[in-house]
Structure 1
Amino acid sequence: MALPNLSENLTETHSAEQKTPETKEVLPSLSLDETIEQIIGGFGWSQFLQALLVSVPTLIDAQQTFISIFADAHPKWHCNLNATCNPKSNICQLPKSAWSWAHSSHKTIISEWGLECASSFIIGLPASSFFLGCLIGGFTLAIFGDFWLGRKKLLYLSCLIMCLASLLTAFSVNIWMYSALRLISGFGRAPIISCSLILLTERVGKRWRGQIGSIGFFSCTVGLMSLSAIAYLNRGSSWRKLYLYTSIPSISFCIMTYFFVYESPRWLFMQGRDKEAVDVLRGIASIPVNSLDLYTSNIPLRKEISKVNNPYKVMKDLCKRGWALKRILASMALGLGIGVAFFGMLFGVGNLGFNIYLSVVFNASMLMPSNLLSLVFIERWNRRGSLFVSCIASGILSMLCVVLGRGREGIQIGLELASLFCSCFAYNVWLIYTTELFPTSVRSSATSLARQAVVLGTVFDPLLTSAGRRYEFLSFGIFGLAIFLCGFFLIFVPETKGKALCNTIDEQEQKDSIIV
C-alpha cells in the first residue's frame, strides 16, 4: 500500500547522492516535520496493522457508551388473565397484580429494581452519569496525553479503567451504585476517541490522514453492531450478563495488545525522546530501508530538552492567543450541537415504536455508508463545506421527523435514519478537523477540550430521550435544532485540508500569519 513513486524518487535521490556529493546538502535542509513526512508519507502494511490495533479501543468505547440502550430499556409487559387492563393502559395506574413483565424481571434495570414509574431524571441518571464522568475525565485525565503519559499509555489506561468499571457494574445492587460505577466508567472513557484518532493521524503523512482516521469510525460502527448482536443473543437473560460479555474480552485485549502498539513519533520528538522516535519511524516507515537510513541519519538527536511541568499553564497561554481561542470556542460550539444530535438519535431509537434490536441495527447499518462516504471523500471535499452541509441537512431532517412522521412510523424511521446519516458524517469530519486545527504540543489537550462540548451535549440526551416519550419535540426536535444552529460557527475557523501539521504553538502562529 506504500506509494511507489515516493519510493522510486527516494531511491533515485540516494543513488544520485552517491554519484554527486553536492546533493548531500539537500537533505540536512529538511525540517523535522518534512523529514517525518518523507519517512511515513506513504502507507505500508506496518502502518495498517498499527491502525487496526489502535482502532479496537474505539470499538470497545462504542459498546460501553451505548450499552445502556439495552440495559436501561423499558421492557415490554402484558396484562394478566381476568385483569381489567389493556395494552395501552398506564401501568403506574394499575395494580401490580393486573400486569406482568413479558420476560424475566431481571431483563433490564427498570424491571429488576421496579423503576417503571420513576421520574425521567431517575431513569436517565445512569446514562447521564456516564457522560458526566466523561466530562470530568476530559478536564482531568485527557490532558496527560500531551505531557506525561503520551498518546499510547493514555489510550490503554483509559480503556482499562472503563472496562474494569464496567465489569464491576454487573454486580450493582441498586440504581445509585449502578450510576456511580457508570460515572467511573465514563471518567476512564473520556480520552479514548480523541487519543485513538490522534495516535492514528500522527503516524501517517498528510495525504493519508483523513482516510486512516476513518478506520476508527468503522470500528465504532462494528462496536455498535456487535453490541446489538450480543444483546439479542442475551435477550432472555439478565442485563448483568451484557456487561460481563462486553467487559471481560475488552480487558484481555487491552493487556495483550499494549506491548505491540507504537507511540506517536511526533509526540516523542516533542518530549526530547529522539532515539525512541527514530526507532518508531523505522518500525512504521513506508519507504525502502536504504532511503530510510538516509533520512534517519539526518535527524539530529538531542540529549536534553526542556519539558513542560504545568500542562494547564500551556493551555492557558494557548487560550490567551486570539486565533487559538477562536478555534477552541468554535470547535466546542460545533461539538455541542453535533453531540446532542448524533448521540441523541442513537439513544432515542426506543421512542420510535420499532423493535429495539432492529432499530439499533438499522442505525448502526446507516453509520457504515456514512463512514464509507467519509473515507472516500474526506480528502476530496473541503472540511468546512462538507461539515456545514451535513449539519444543516441533519438538523432539517430531524425536525421533519417530528413534524411529518407523527403517527407514521415508516416515515419517521426513514427521516431519522437520513438525519443520523448526515450527523454521523458531520461527526466524522469534525473529529478529523479538530485534530488538524491545533499543533502537536497541545493537540491532545485542545481536541479533548473540544470533545468535552460533545460530552456536555450528550449528558442531556438520556433526559431528553426520556422526556421525549411524552413530548416528541423534546427529543428529535431539540436534536435537529441543535445541530442546525451549530453549523454556522464554521465561519470562525480556517480550512485545513491538505495542510501540514505544526508541532508547536509558535510554529502554528507563524504559519497562520504567513498565510494571512
Structure 2
Amino acid sequence: MKNTASLKIQAMKEGEPLPFSDSSWNNCRAVLLSSGVSPAAPRDCLFAGEEMWPYLGASCLDPPPALAAFSSCSVGRLFPTAWRGCPALRPPRSAAVAELSFQTPPTVLAGPRPVLPPHRQRVYVACQSMLIVLVGAVPRYHIDQEGIPASRAELAKHIHFASNFTSIVTEWYLIDREAYKVSLASSLFFAGLLIGNITFGPLSDKLGRKPVYISGLFFDVIFGYVTALAPNYDIFAVSRFFVGIVNGGMALVSFVLTQEYVGKSFWSFTGSLTNVTFAVGIAVFALLGYCIREWRYLALVSNTPGVFFLLLSFMLPESPRWLYSQGKTAEAEDVLQYIALCNGKERLNLKLKPSAGTLRKDELAPGILNLVKQPVLRWRTILLMYIWYVCSFVYYGLTLNAGELRGNLYLNVALSGLVEVPAFPLCMFFIEKSWSGRRKTMTCFLTFAGLACVFTMFLPTNAGLLLGPTLLALCGKMMVSAAFNILYIYTSELYPTVLRNAGLGVCSMSCRFGGILAPFVPSMKSLSPSIPFVVFGITGLSAGFLTLLLPETLNKPIAESIDDLQSPRYQVLKNEEAEQSS
C-alpha cells in the first residue's frame, strides 16, 4: 500500500481561523490532477509522501521541509521552491499558517535498499585510521645491559619485550631515539588525509561523486596491503602516507554521496549514522587486535573488508543532486526512479525542471576560489576551518591517547569507540529542536568537551577508572564526537551543492592539521600527566565560542548554486525562518 499523508490546511488572517480560499484550492487541485493525483477535499489532501514534491514545481532536489520538520509553518514556506517554480500555487495573502498531520510517516528517498550504502564502509575507514594505535603500540621491555646499544643488531640481542603481541616497535626496535618514528607514521597518515581532502573534493564536484569514490576506495585497498607487507619502516611510512591520501578523499566523497541520496530533512539521520559506523569500527578494530596479536596479520585482516565494499560500490547510483546541479536532469530522473523502485514504490511519472544555477557550455564550473570570492562563503569558511581543526585535534588526540592510558590497551581502544555511540542519539534529538538547532548544540558539546579535558588536571592519576582522568577523557571524547558529528551535517548545509564537496574538502584539509599535530601532544605528559588534556580543553573551548558566529541552518532552504545564496527568494526565505525560530 502506498504511504500517504494527510495535509490539513487552515488559513488565518489577523490571528483568526478562516477557510482555505476556493480559488487557491482550485489552483492546487489543478496541478495535482495534472500529475495524476486526485485529492478528495481542501482539508483532506492525500498525496504519496515525498514523491509528490517534483510535481509541485520544485526547482531543487529537496523535498518540502514541512513534511518532516514542521508541525506548523507559514504557507509561503510550506513548499518554498514550489512557489518559485509554479506561480499558480502561490497562496493568497490572507493565508498565513498551514498545519500538517500525518496518518503515516512520509516516505523518503533513502537510497536503494539492495545496495550497501556508502556509509557502511566507515567501519573500514575506522580500521585504517586506528591502525597505528595497535600496530605502533609500545610493549613493556627491558634491556639486559646498561645503556642502549648503538647498532640495531646489538639491540636485538639485549632487548626483551614482555607483552604477547608484536608491532612495528618490536620488529624494527623503535625505542629511545627511534621512538619518534611511530608518531611520524601517524602524522604522515594525517598529512595524506590533508592532501586527499584538497584534491578529492573538487574532483568529485567536477567528475561526479561515484567515480571519484570508487577510485579512492580501490587505491585505499591497494596501499593497505602494501602497509601490511612492508619489508621496512620506510616503505611502511610511505604507504601510510598514500593510504591517508586515498582514505581521506574517499571518506569525504562517500559522506557527501550518502547525504545527497536523501532529502535535507534526513541529513541529520544519515550524517549521524555515517559517523556512528566509524565509532563502531573503532570497537571492531580493538576486537580484531585482541584476537590477532601479530601486527602484519592484523593489518591484512583489517584491510580485507575494503575489497568487499569495493565490489558492492559498483552497484551504487550517481548522486541525483550532483547530476541535477550539472544540468543532467534526465539522468537525475533515472536515478530517482531507480531509488524509488528499490524502495518498493511504483514507477513515478516525474519531470524535473531545469535548475536555475545550471551552467552554460561556455561557463566554468565553480571552484575553490569561489569560497574566497564570495563574502558570505569566505567568512563561513574561515570559521569552519578553525572549528574543524579543533575538532580533529581534540578527537584524534584523545583517541590516540587511548593507548597511553592506564589499563588494558584493547579495552581502552574499544571504550574510546563505544563511548561515541551514545553521542549520536543526543545529536539527533537536540539538532532537530527549534530551541537548540545545529549551532547552539555544537557550541554546548564543544564547551563540555573542553571542560571535561581541563578538569582532568584536578584528579589523581591512580584513582582508577571511575574516579581517574580516564573517565573524564572518555566523557570528553563523547562530547567532541557529538560535535564532530554535527559539524559534518552543519557544514554540508552551509555550502551550496555546486561547492559542497569543495567546501567540505577545504574544511577537512584544516581538520587534518589537527590530526597531524595530535599524535605528538600525548608526549607532553613527560612535563605533567595533565598537560595534554589541558591543551585539548583550551582549544575545545575556543572553538565552542566561535561556533556562535555561524548562522543556524535548521529548517532553512538549501542552496543548489552560488546564485541561490544571493537570490532575493533565498534571502527572504532565510530571513523569514530566522524570524520564526527567534
* TM-score (norm. length: structure 1): 0.86
User: 1:275 — aligned with what?
Assistant: 330
- Between 459-468 and 176-185, report the one with greater CA deviation: 459-468
- Which residue in 1 is equivalent to 2:222? 164
User: What CA deviation, in whole Å up to 9, does each residue of 1:325-356 have, x standing for no partner?
Assistant: 00001111111111111111000012221211
Match for residue 101 of structure 1? 161
Q: CA deviation at 1:191?
A: 2.3
1:198 equivalent in alignment to 2:256: yes
1:31 maps to 58
Higher mean Cα deviation, 109-118 or 368-377?
A: 368-377
1:349 counterpart (402, 407, 428): 402
Bigger mean CA offset, 240-249 vs 389-398: 240-249
Residues 43 and 29 of structure 1: CA distance in aligned 2, closer, same or farther (over 3 Å): closer
Instruction: Look up the equivalent residue of 1:275 and give its one-letter code.
Output: A
Q: 2:270 aligns with which of 203, 212, 229?
A: 212
Question: Per-residue deviation at 1:192?
Answer: 3.1
Offset at residue 212 of structure 1 (A): 1.8
Q: CA deviation at 1:171?
A: 1.7
> Counterpart in 1 of 2:93?
none
Between structures 1 and 2, the one with greater helix share: 1
Unpaired stretches in structure 1, ≥5 consecutive residues: none
> Superposed, which structure 2 residues align to 1:375-390 within 5 Å?
375-380=428-433, 381-390=436-445
Task: Report the Cα offset of residue 140 of structure 1.
Answer: 2.1
Q: Aligned partners of 1:503, 1:512: CA distance in 2, in Å?
A: 11
TM superposition shift of 1:6: 6.9
Paired with 2:318 and 2:148, the residues of 1 have a C-alpha distance of: 55
Other structure's SS at 1:262 match: coil
Between 1:11-20 and 1:500-509, the stretch displaced more is 11-20
Structure 2 equivalent of residue 70 of structure 1: 134
Q: 1:470 Cα shift?
A: 5.5
Q: How many residues align?
A: 495
TM-score, normalising length from structure 2?
0.77
SS of 1:336 mapped into structure 2: helix
1:324 matched to which residue of 2?
377
Q: Which residue of 1 aligns with 2:564?
A: 507
Structure 1 residue aligned with 2:580: none
**Structure 1 residues 3 and 77 mapped into 2: Cα distance closer, same or farther (>3 Å)?**
farther
Shift in alpha-carbon separation, 1:234–1:507, aligned structure 2, 3 A: same
Letter of the structure 2 residue corresponding to residue 100 of structure 1: H
Whole-Å separation in 2 of the counterparts to 1:481 and 1:2: 53
Q: Which amino acid aligns with 1:182?
A: R
Partner in structure 1 of residue 120 of structure 2: 56
Which structure 2 segments of 5+ residues have no match?
10-27, 43-52, 69-105, 576-582
Within a 5 Å distance, the mapping from 1:112-511 to structure 2 comes to: 112-119=171-178, 121-148=180-207, 150-235=208-293, 237=294, 239-254=295-310, 256-285=311-340, 289=346, 292-293=348-349, 296-297=350-351, 299=353, 306=360, 314-380=367-433, 381-410=436-465, 411-468=468-525, 471-510=528-567
> What SS does the aligned partner of 2:160 have?
strand
Paired residues of 2:272 and 2:424 also in contact (CA < 8 A): yes
Deviation at 1:128, TM superposition (A): 0.3
CA RMSD of aligned residues (A): 3.5
Cα separation, 1, equivalents of 2:414 and 2:54: 53
Residues 1:226 and 1:60: Cα distance change in structure 2 (over 3 Å): same
Deviations 1:155-212 (A, max 9, x none): 2222222221111111212222111110000010122333222212222222222112
1:85-96 equivalences in 2 (<5 Å): none
- Aligned residues of 1:142 and 1:190 also touching (Cα < 8 A): no
- SS class of match (1:100): strand
Q: Which runs of 4+ in 1 moved over 4 A?
A: 6-20, 26-29, 34-38, 40-46, 90-99, 307-311
Q: Deviations over 1:347-387 (max 9, x none)?
A: 00122212110001111110111122223433224111000
Q: Indicate if the aligned counterparts of 2:196 and 2:248 stay in contact, CA closer than 8 A.
A: yes
Q: CA deviation at 1:513?
A: 3.9
Identity rate, percent: 23
Deviation at 1:478, TM superposition (A): 1.4
Shift of 1:415: 0.6
Q: Distance in 1 between matches of 2:206 and 2:140?
A: 50
With 8-17 and 424-433 compared, the bigger mean Cα shift is at 8-17
- C-alpha distance in 2, partners of 1:362/1:152? 34
Distance 1:36 1:390, change over 3 A: closer
Change (3 A) 1:160 1:96: closer
Structure 1 residue 242: Cα displacement: 1.3
Counterpart Cα distance in 1 of 2:315 and 2:455:
48
The answer to whether the 8 Å contact 2:281/2:417 transfers is no
Give the aligned residue type for 1:269.
Answer: Y
Distance 1:247 1:27 in 2: 42
The question of whether the paired residues in 2 share the 8 Å contact of 1:124 and 1:466 is answered with: no
- Call closer, same or farther: CA 1:471–1:164 in 2, change over 3 Å: farther
Residue identity opposite 1:73 in structure 2: A
What amino acid maps onto 1:122 in structure 2?
Answer: K
Q: Distance in 1 between matches of 2:115 and 2:476?
A: 29
Compared with structure 1, are the counterparts of its residues 214 and 301 closer, same or farther at alpha carbon in structure 2 (3 Å cutoff)? closer
TM-aligned CA distance change 1:131 to 1:451, over 3 Å:
same
Asked if the contact 2:557–2:570 (Cα under 8 Å) also holds between the matched residues in 1, the reply is: no
Contact 2:115 / 2:316 at 8 angstroms: preserved in 1? no
C-alpha separation in 2, matches of 1:503 and 1:352 = 46
Structure 2 Cα separation of the partners of residues 2 and 465 of structure 1: 56
| Aligned residue identity for 1:128 | S
Judged with a 3 Å threshold, the aligned counterparts in structure 2 of structure 1 residues 437 and 50 are, in CA distance, closer, same or farther, namely farther
Amino acid at match of 2:308: S
Deviations 1:211-264 (A, max 9, x none): 1221101210221111111111112x2x1111111212312321x212221211
Larger radius of gyration: 2
Letter of the structure 2 residue corresponding to residue 102 of structure 1: A
Q: How far off its partner does 1:388 sit? A: 0.5
- Verify the 8 A CA contact 1:206 1:499 in the aligned structure 2: no
Partner secondary structure for residue 460 of structure 1 = helix
Relative distance call for 1:348 and 1:11 in structure 2 (3 A) is farther
CA contact (8 A) 2:140 2:162 kept: yes
- The separation in 1 between residues aligned to 2:233 and 2:458, in whole angstroms, is 35
